[in-house]
């Protein structure tokens, strides 16, 4: 069964609105979670590392104010895409490690119109 659950699996939003994506670790605690972005036919690019109880660590080039990350509990991290624009349309996927293996959520396909 799934180890990491991500919701929603797809979302369409209007330009200028914000979208929240949830990532939950199931049956285990994850002090660290990772958020990736994937453009069509490309690899996964790490956006940020989500740390429970502290600020997220963002990769170079990722706007902190644009992609808000909150890791409020040991099983939940959220990514909020603020003031979304069409160029933010992408596939977002989170992961958490259990037993030394990174397990991934189902991914969220975001389309901004």
Partner 1 sequence: AQKVTQAQTEISVVEKEDVTLDCVYETRDTTYYLFWYKQPPSGELVFLIRRNSFDEQNEISGRYSWNFQKSTSSFNFTITASQVVDSAVYFCALSERGNAGNMLTFGGGTRLMVKP
Which stretches of the chain bind partner 1, using CB under 8 A? 32, 34, 41-44, 46, 49, 51, 57, 91, 93, 95, 97, 100-107, 109
Nearer to partner 1, 82 or 104 (CB): 104
Least distance from C-beta 86 to partner 1, angstroms?
Answer: 20
Least distance from C-beta 52 to partner 1, angstroms?
Answer: 11
User: Could you tell me which of 113, 112, 109, 101 has the C-alpha nearest to residue 40?
Assistant: 109
How many CB atoms lie under 10 A from the CB of residue 62? 17
Nearer to partner 1, 88 or 92 (CB): 92
Nearer to partner 1, 5 or 82 (CB): 5
Nearer to partner 1, 8 or 16 (CB): 8
Least distance from C-beta 82 to partner 1, angstroms?
Answer: 23
């Amino acid at each position: 069964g799934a180890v990491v659950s991500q919701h929603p699996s797809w979302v369409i939003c209007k330009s200028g609105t914000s979208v929240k994506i949830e990532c939950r670790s199931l049956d285990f605690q994850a002090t660290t979670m990772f958020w990736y972005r994937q453009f069509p036919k490309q690899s996964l690019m790490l956006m940020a590392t989500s740390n429970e109880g502290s600020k997220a660590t963002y990769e170079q080039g990722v706007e902190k104010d644009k992609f808000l990350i909150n890791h409020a509990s040991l099983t939940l991290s959220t990514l909020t895409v603020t003031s979304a624009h069409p160029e933010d349309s992408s596939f977002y996927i989170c992961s958490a490690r259990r037993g030394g293996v990174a397990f991934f959520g189902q991914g969220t396909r975001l389309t901004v119109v």
